[in-house]
C-alpha cells in the first residue's frame, strides 16, 4: 500500500505517468470549455488550452469528448470522428508547442445527456428521469457492447490526434458512474446488484480503452470517491472499485473526484452556489422552475483548501496505483503537502481559469496563493465560453 515517500518528490522536476515523462506534477483538470459550438474544435478552444500550457502546467486535459452520439452532453459536445480529427490534431500540436502534454477526457454522458439537444434518448442503467427532464432508456446488453467498442475506437482516435494521455470519465453519475451507483443502477442482470456486477461495464470499458490506446500513451480514470447523495456510491465501495481497477492493470493513475451532475454538483465544487447566474441561462418556464428547486439542486458547501484530501487519503492507504489529488488546490504548500503524503500528482482547474500562469510563477520562485475566490460563477459560463467572470470585473 502506498505511503508517504521518505523524501517527497519535487513539484518541479520530471515525473513519470505510465510511459510519459511530465515536466512537473501539476495537471490542468478537465473543465467544460464551452468553446465547441456544434461540436467543432474552434480557435477559442485551442487558445484555452494553449494559455494553460504556456502558463506552466505539465499537462492539460480537454473535456469532454464523447464516444457515442447519444453520449454527448448536448449537441455542442465534441464527438470523436472524422469531423473532429483535424481540429483535435491542431489542438494537441498547439499544446505541445507551448511546452505541455495533452490529455483527452473521454466518456458517455448517460443520464446527464440532454436528449432534446442530441435528438436521441439518453441512456442509463435503469429507466429514470435524466438531467434534461426526459425519461432515459435503460441500456440493453447490445448498447453496452456497442458503447464499449465506441470507447475502444475513441481511444485509438485520440492517439491518432496526438493526445499523450486518455482520461476515462468514471465520475459525476455519467453513464459509467451511474452503473456503479446503487441509487441509479436497479438492474437485476449481470450489470446490476452486487458491486462486482455494477463495476463490470466500467471495467470492460477501461480494458477496451487500453486496448485501443496501446502502450505508448498513458491511460487514467476520473473516479468518484462519493456521489454525495443518499444511496449513491460512497467511499468504501469506491475503494473496492479502485482496487478492482488496480488489479486489472490497465490504468496508470486514478484522479479522485466526487459529486453528481444529476443531483448534487456542488459536492464537487464547494464554495458559493451561483443559483441566480444559473437561472439566468435558462429559458422560461425552466427559469421559474429553477427558482423553486435551485436551492435543493445547488447546495452550498463551505470551501476548504484541498477539500477532497481527507477522503483521498483512504484511497492512498489502500492502493499502490498512482493517485492524482483534485479539489480546491490554490496554494503551492498544498501541492507540496500532497506529494509528501504520497499523491503522485495534483490537478487544478478554477485557480487556472483565473490565472493561467499561476504554475509558472510558482516555478519561478513565487509562493503567492491563487486569486480564485470560489464564487463559482465560472460554472454557468460553460454555456458561453468557460471563464473567470470575476477576472473581468477586476480593475487592471
Residues in CB range of 223: below 8 A, 6 or more apart: 170, 171, 238, 241, 242, 245, 254, 255, 256, 257
Catalytic residue among 64, 151, 174, 267: 174
Question: Cell for 228?
Answer: 454525495
Helix (H, G, I), strand (E, B) or coil at 16: strand
Please tell me the predicted confidence (pLDDT) of residue 393: 42
Angstrom distance (rounded) from CA 278 to CA 343: 34
Please tell me the predicted confidence (pLDDT) of residue 395: 37
Can 64 be counted among the known catalytic residues?
A: no
Domains and CATH numbers, the chain: 15-393 (3.20.20.70)
Please tell me the predicted confidence (pLDDT) of residue 133: 77
Mark the ranges of the chain whose per-residue pLDDT is less than 70: 1-3, 278-279, 281-295, 378, 381, 391-396
Angstrom distance (rounded) from CA 179 to CA 246: 19
Please tell me the predicted confidence (pLDDT) of residue 81: 86
Does residue 329 contact residue 335 with C-beta atoms inside 8 Å? yes
Q: Mark out the alpha helices in 161-285 (DSSP H runs).
A: 175-180, 195-198, 200-213, 235-248, 266-269, 275-280
The C-alpha angle 96, 77, 56, rounded to 5 degrees, equals 25
Please tell me the predicted confidence (pLDDT) of residue 329: 96
Please tell me the predicted confidence (pLDDT) of residue 147: 98
Q: What is the pLDDT of residues 90-145, one digit of tens each?
A: 999 999 999 999 999 999 999 999 888 889 899 999 988 877 778 999 999 999 99
Q: What is the pLDDT of residues 168-199, one digit of tens each?
A: 999 999 999 999 999 999 999 999 999 999 99
Helix (H, G, I), strand (E, B) or coil at 366: coil
Does residue 53 contact residue 95 with C-beta atoms inside 8 Å? yes
State the first-to-last Cα distance of the chain, in angstroms, to the nearest integer: 49
Instruction: Give the containing element (helix H, strand E) for 168.
Output: strand 165-170
Amino acid at each position: 500500500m502506498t505511503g508517504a515517500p521518505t523524501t517527497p518528490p519535487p513539484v518541479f522536476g520530471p515525473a513519470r505517468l505510465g510511459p510519459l515523462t511530465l515536466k512537473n506534477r501539476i495537471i490542468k483538470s478537465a473543465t467544460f470549455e464551452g468553446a465547441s459550438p456544434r461540436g467543432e474544435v474552434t480557435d477559442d478552444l485551442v487558445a484555452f488550452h494553449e494559455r494553460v500550457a504556456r502558463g506552466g502546467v505539465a499537462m492539460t486535459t480537454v473535456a469532454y469528448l464523447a464516444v457515442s452520439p447519444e453520449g454527448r452532453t448536448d449537441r455542442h459536445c465534441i464527438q470523436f470522428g472524422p469531423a473532429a480529427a483535424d481540429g483535435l490534431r491542431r489542438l494537441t500540436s498547439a499544446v505541445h508547442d507551448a511546452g505541455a502534454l495533452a490529455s483527452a477526457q473521454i466518456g458517455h454522458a448517460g443520464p446527464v445527456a440532454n436528449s432534446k439537444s442530441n435528438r436521441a434518448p439518453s441512456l442509463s442503467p435503469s429507466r429514470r428521469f435524466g438531467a434534461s427532464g426526459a425519461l432515459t432508456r435503460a441500456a440493453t446488453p447490445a448498447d453496452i457492447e456497442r458503447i464499449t467498442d465506441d470507447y475502444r475506437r475513441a481511444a485509438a482516435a485520440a492517439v491518432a490526434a496526438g493526445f499523450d494521455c486518455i482520461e476515462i470519465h468514471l465520475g459525476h453519475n455519467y453513464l459509467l458512474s451511474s452503473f456503479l451507483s446503487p441509487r441509479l443502477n436497479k438492474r437485476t442482470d449481470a450489470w446490476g446488484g452486487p458491486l462486482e456486477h455494477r463495476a463490470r461495464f466500467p471495467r470492460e470499458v477501461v480494458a477496451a480503452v487500453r486496448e485501443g490506446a496501446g502502450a505508448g500513451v498513458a491511460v487514467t480514470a476520473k473516479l468518484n470517491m462519493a456521489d454525495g447523495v443518499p444511496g449513491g456510491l460512497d467511499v468504501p465501495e469506491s475503494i473496492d472499485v479502485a482496487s478492482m481497477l488496480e488489479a486489472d492493470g490497465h490504468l496508470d493513475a486514478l484522479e479522485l473526484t466526487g459529486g453528481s451532475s444529476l443531483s448534487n454538483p456542488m459536492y464537487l465544487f464547494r464554495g458559493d452556489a451561483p443559483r441566480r447566474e444559473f437561472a439566468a441561462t435558462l429559458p422560461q418556464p425552466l427559469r421559474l422552475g429553477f427558482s423553486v428547486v435551485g436551492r435543493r439542486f445547488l447546495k452550498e458547501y463551505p470551501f476548504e483548501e484541498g477539500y477532497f484530501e481527507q477522503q483521498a487519503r483512504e484511497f492512498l492507504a489502500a492502493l499502490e496505483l498512482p493517485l492524482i489529488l483534485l479539489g480546491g488546490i490554490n496554494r503551492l504548500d498544498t501541492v507540496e503537502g500532497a506529494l509528501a503524503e504520497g499523491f503522485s500528482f495534483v490537478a487544478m482547474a478554477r485557480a487556472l481559469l483565473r490565472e493561467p500562469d499561476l504554475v509558472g510563477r510558482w516555478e519561478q520562485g513565487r509562493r503567492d496563493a491563487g486569486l480564485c475566490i470560489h464564487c463559482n460563477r465560472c460554472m454557468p459560463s460553460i454555456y458561453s465560453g468557460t471563464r473567470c467572470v470575476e477576472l473581468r470585473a477586476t480593475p487592471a
